[in-house]
Amino acid sequence: MPEGPEIRRAADTLLAAMANRPITRAWFAFPHLKPYEDGLVGQHIEKIDTRGKALLTWFSNGQVLYSHNQLYGVWRVAAAGESPVTKRDLRVRLENADQAILLYSASDIKILSADELAAHPFLLRIGPDALDMALTVDEVIDRLSSPRFSGRQFGGLLLDQSFIAGLGNYLRVEILWQAGLTAQHKARDLSAQQLRRLCEAILDIPRLSYATRGRSDINKHHGAVFRFRVFHRAGKPCERCGRPIEKTTVASRPFYWCPGCQR
């Protein structure tokens, strides 16, 4: 499943295809969205935000398209009028004179006003977004140290969108390796130094993944580049201590860790 960095990069790609160009065609598969089609023609997309794994497309008339990919949803960019061959079911088509953005297979799709968006149950339930550059390490420390989260094991907590939105399985694995902690650790049992190191990783790793993962134009001259240290590396030596990486299951998801330096 795509995690926060992948959703944010998808939003960037969609916006580049559609920004400031009048919509020439709007099409929705679901009957409850059909009444909005004609009203979107002639509007343009002002911005596309992400909140965790939800994508928010803001139109110039003040309406917002809320979509959540869940397990199977995926956005694609195509030429205007083009219908790519796929076994997926098309849910949304927004088109300008040159390009179209297409949403396949998702089921959680709504058109909302700004006020309705602010009251959306999912957005009210999730925590601050790891890719929100206004979110600081100290704020994450305060959140993690609160009674609500301090007694929970990290293996489950780092997948809980109500703690920090946008984290998923590969980020959970890489964050805990970076911090030198196990899935069984809890915030209340950490030293102040351990807690800060963990919270720095909670922000640094998703942001580095967003900025550099999959980018062919990033090289060593640009500084740090995201790569997997433990995820999908079972049996390979840990680059920090040399012990073989192990694989297990934590919170019903594959989990990779180093028994030598995650203690």
List the catalytic residues: 2-3, 53, 253
Tell me: do 36 and 120 sit in the same domain: yes
Confidence band, pLDDT 50/70/90 cuts, at residue 129: very high
8 A C-beta contact, residue 59 and residue 46:
yes
Domain boundary among 102, 125, 148: 125
Predicted pLDDT of residue 128: 96
| Measured CA distances, 90 to 12, 86, 240 (Å) | 21, 9, 46
Q: Is the pLDDT of residue 1 over 90?
A: no
Domain boundary among 59, 92, 125: 125
Q: Is the pLDDT of residue 222 over 70?
A: no
In a domain, residue 43? The reply is yes
- Tell me how far apart the alpha carbons of residues 175 and 163 are, in angstroms, rounded to a whole number: 14
Domain boundary among 125, 155, 189: 125
In a domain, residue 98? The reply is yes
Q: Which residue has 């201590």 as its token pair?
A: 241
Predicted pLDDT of residue 73: 84
Tell me: do 175 and 116 sit in the same domain: no
Angle among Cα 199, 204, 205 to the nearest 5 degrees reads 105
Confidence band, pLDDT 50/70/90 cuts, at residue 170: very high
Percentage of the chain surpassing pLDDT 70?
96
The packing angle between helices 192-212 and 169-179, to 10°, is 130
Phi, psi of 144 (to 5 degrees): -70, -30
Tell me: do 94 and 153 sit in the same domain: no
Tell me: do 100 and 43 sit in the same domain: yes
Mean residue pLDDT across the chain? 94
Q: Is the pLDDT of residue 90 over 90?
A: yes
Tell me: do 17 and 109 sit in the same domain: yes
Mean pLDDT, rounded, for 92-120: 96
Tell me: do 149 and 219 sit in the same domain: yes
Confidence band, pLDDT 50/70/90 cuts, at residue 70: confident
Using DSSP, state whether 176 is helix, strand or coil: helix
Q: Is the pLDDT of residue 239 over 60?
A: yes
Predicted pLDDT of residue 214: 60
- Tell me how far apart the alpha carbons of residues 164 and 204 are, in angstroms, rounded to a whole number: 13
Q: Which domain holds residue 147?
A: 137-257
Tell me: do 66 and 179 sit in the same domain: no
Q: Which residue has 């590969």 as its token pair?
A: 170
Give 24-57 pLDDT, tens digit per residue.
999 999 999 999 999 999 999 999 999 988 999 9
In a domain, residue 130? The reply is no
Tell me: do 150 and 234 sit in the same domain: yes
- The rounded radius of gyration (Å) of the Cα atoms in the chain is 20
Q: Is the pLDDT of residue 160 over 90?
A: yes
Taking Cα atoms as reference points, which of 136, 139, 175 lies closest to residue 155?
A: 175
Tell me: do 211 and 236 sit in the same domain: yes
- Tell me how far apart the alpha carbons of residues 106 and 77 are, in angstroms, rounded to a whole number: 16
Tell me: do 160 and 252 sit in the same domain: yes
> Residue 45: left if φ>0, alpha if ψ -120 to 50, beta else—which one?
beta
Tell me: do 152 and 78 sit in the same domain: no
Mean pLDDT, rounded, for 174-183: 98
Number of domains forming the structure of the chain: 2
Mean pLDDT, rounded, for 197-226: 81
C-beta neighbour count of 219 within 10 angstroms: 10
